[in-house]
Amino acid sequence: LAYGDDIVAASKKHPIVPLEKGQRYSYGTAGFRMKADLLEGIAFRVGVLAALRSRSLGGQAIGVMITASHNPAVDNGVKIVDPMGEMLEQEWERYATAFVNAGSDEEVVKIYKTLATDLKINVKDPAKVIFGRDTRPSGHTLVTALKAALVASQSEYVDYKILTTPQLHYLVRATNTEGSPVSYGKVSEVGYYEKLADAFIRAMKGKKFGGTLSVDCANGVGGPKLSEFLKYIPKDKVNGIDVKVVNDDVLRPEILNLDCGADFVKTKQRAPPIPKLVPGLRSCSLDGDADRLMYYWVDPDTSSFAMLDGDRISSLAASFIGDLLESAGLRDELRTGVVQTAYANGASTNYITQHLKLPVICTPTGVKHLHHVAQGFDIGVYFEANGHGTVLFSPYAIAAFKETEPQSPAQKDALATLAALGDLINQTVGDAISDMLLVEVILAHKNWTLRDWAMTYADLPNRLVRVEVGNKDVFRTTDAERRLLHPDGAQEEIDNEVKKFKDARSFARASGTENACRVYAEAATRSEASELADRVALIIQRYGTL
């Protein structure tokens, strides 16, 4: 047998579904994501590529996550995780796209060999791929295809079965740093829980958990995993801890993300109908793979609904960490910055730049873009408005937390809390469970209710609309997605509409995870924001069907 024959033979058992003429699969914002029945062959080819990627990096473990996160239950997705737990390097996204669009099984191997030659990769070198999946039943078939690819490509693998996306990212980094001075933690799911629990207990030392927290888990993987995590927090270690896990039914796959979860809350700007929201109850929602987080409540005094989204978590974290740095005497030492996307509410950007006096950088949608920019700071706070994000600490910052000699008890406490946050906050990717614990720590330290948090600034009224169009690919953007470059004339029409409203802003872009466009609008009043969003949506619909 010639090298690659195994891959060709195995590939034939997991065929690619051909697309209509002129259409191509593409590695998007979150890897390949679409209807699950299109994905088997894609999972196979991604497996082959992941093995090659591992070989190109001296056999370091590469992750593959099978999830469609916030998408409906019928969808699924496959994405690759790089050795430090980051998203796949951009150049390799192109290779992934080429692999998946290859016209035949033989061509996949041809591209494999060409890449190996061009990138000087020895195809006989060891490779290791680790993977997990969310609770979608279609995950089984995709895992079978992925395993077949890894066997055929002679790669070692570990099947971690059902995981949240951030857990898989954790495991990739833990695997590749095991036994080194920068070890990220024990290489197991238990190791993840232990690390988070230990850090949470340290960060909550002497503070009180602020009453019952209700967590809607979108009927996804976050439910069982959060329940498991809670077992690692002895009641006597965190004063008053009381977490109620709701919408955690993973046995009825069709209800995943259905009328619940972080995406529902953000787009509908209301609480899931079930369970009925009790006024005053501090609540939050995760999404289907537990990498997004939304807080909300109904104010018992005014009966109004308040949503605290990714922008709020970002400004809360930036302000809290800023105060700790001040107390720790490190404010001038460590450069802090915030990264947002065009969806960030204008009021949050103003609050961060004017009140917190921190720089804000805007990037296109997709955590990989935000993550990359956040790495440029000693403390890089990045969140998308949809609740996906984290805080990155540079090695210099982590060393400063641990090595600064405190001159006072207050400074000692601040340094200890900062060091605990360094362990609590997932450094690889946005992690809803870790972010939720962060928010709880901050609220406990400040002794704040959600009302206090909501009062830090007033959001500009806004609306997000999903528009289905014939061909979303005609929409191309510039300026961090704030303006349309193509189709000709569309941006001009949007500008004309925006001009008619007070303090208004609007933009449109093609989704990278759904077959639709998204329109965002902000204006002085709720009805104006809504009206503007509708008008821009009409423009998009028209241009998308021309």
Minimum distance, C-beta of residue 512 to ligand G16, in the bound complex (Å): 3
- Sites for ligand G16 among residues 60-99 (CB under 6 A): 69-70
- Sites for ligand G16 among residues 420-449 (CB under 6 A): none
Instruction: Point out which span in 97-105, 140-148, 181-189, 505-513 binds ligand G16 (CB under 6 A).
Output: 505-513
Site string for ligand G16, 119-158 (x = CB under 6 A): ----------------------------------------
Contact, 176 vs 83, CB < 8 A? Answer: yes
d(CA 471, CA 481): 18
Minimum distance, C-beta of residue 101 to ligand G16, in the bound complex (Å): 20
Residue 511 bears catalytic tag: no
Interface residue with ligand G16, options 45, 225, 312, 518 (CB under 6 A): 518
Q: Which of 299, 339, 273, 305 is nearest to 459 (CA)?
A: 305
Buried b (16+ CB within 10 A) or exposed e, 391-418: bbbbeebbebbeebeeeeeebebbbbbb
CA 518: distance to chain centroid? 18
What is the SS3 assignment for 406-433?
A: CCCHHHHHHHHHHHHHHHHCCCCCCCHH
d(CA 194, CA 103): 46
Contact, 459 vs 345, CB < 8 A? Answer: yes
Nearer to ligand G16, 367 or 523 (CB): 367
Minimum distance, C-beta of residue 367 to ligand G16, in the bound complex (Å): 4
- Sites for ligand G16 among residues 371-390 (CB under 6 A): 384, 386, 388
By CB under 6 A, residue 30 contacts ligand G16: yes
Q: Write down the residue that tokens 């996949």 correspond to.
A: 108
Minimum distance, C-beta of residue 291 to ligand G16, in the bound complex (Å): 5
Nearer to ligand G16, 29 or 269 (CB): 29
Q: Rounded to 5 degrees, what are φ and ψ at 274?
A: -125, 135
Interface residue with ligand G16, options 153, 164, 363, 365 (CB under 6 A): 365
Nearer to ligand G16, 245 or 293 (CB): 293
Binding-site residue total for ligand G16 (CB under 6 A)? 18
Minimum distance, C-beta of residue 219 to ligand G16, in the bound complex (Å): 15
Nearer to ligand G16, 70 or 128 (CB): 70
Tell me how far CA of residue 424 lies from CA of 17, 201, 244, 487, in angstroms.
Answer: 42, 10, 21, 45
Interface residue with ligand G16, options 54, 315, 390, 513 (CB under 6 A): 513
Q: Which of 34, 479, 310, 269 is nearest to 508 (CA)?
A: 479
Tell me how far CA of residue 355 lies from CA of 319, 324, 458, 475, in angstroms.
Answer: 9, 16, 13, 36
Nearer to ligand G16, 319 or 513 (CB): 513
Among 11, 69, 138, 314, which one carries the catalytic annotation?
69
Count of CB atoms within 10 A of residue 505's CB?
A: 18
Instruction: Point out which span in 105-113, 220-228, 237-245, 360-368 binds ligand G16 (CB under 6 A).
Output: 360-368
Strands (E), 28-109: 32-35, 61-66, 75-81
- Tell me if residue 199 falls in helix, strand or coil: helix
Instruction: Render 444-458 in DSSP notation, one character per residue.
Output: HHHT--HHHHHTT-P
Minimum distance, C-beta of residue 90 to ligand G16, in the bound complex (Å): 14
- Tell me if residue 488 falls in helix, strand or coil: coil
Minimum distance, C-beta of residue 260 to ligand G16, in the bound complex (Å): 15
d(CA 283, CA 131): 31
Nearer to ligand G16, 151 or 255 (CB): 255
Instruction: Point out which span in 205-213, 225-233, 265-273, 359-367 binds ligand G16 (CB under 6 A).
Output: 359-367
Both structure tokens of 147: 């395993």
Nearer to ligand G16, 176 or 390 (CB): 390
Q: Which of 233, 235, 261 is nearest to 246 (CA)?
A: 261
By CB under 6 A, residue 248 contacts ligand G16: no
By CB under 6 A, residue 514 contacts ligand G16: yes
What H or E segment, with its residue span, contains residue 259? none
Minimum distance, C-beta of residue 339 to ligand G16, in the bound complex (Å): 12
Instruction: Determine if the peptide bond prior to 181 is cis (ω within 30°).
Output: no
Interface residue with ligand G16, options 4, 47, 261, 366 (CB under 6 A): 366
Minimum distance, C-beta of residue 383 to ligand G16, in the bound complex (Å): 10
Instruction: Point out which span in 99-107, 264-272, 508-516, 530-538 binds ligand G16 (CB under 6 A).
Output: 508-516
- Sites for ligand G16 among residues 283-342 (CB under 6 A): 287, 291-292
**Which residues are at the interface with ligand G16 (CB under 6 A)?**
29-30, 69-70, 287, 291-292, 365-367, 384, 386, 388, 511-514, 518
Catalytic (active-site) positions: 69
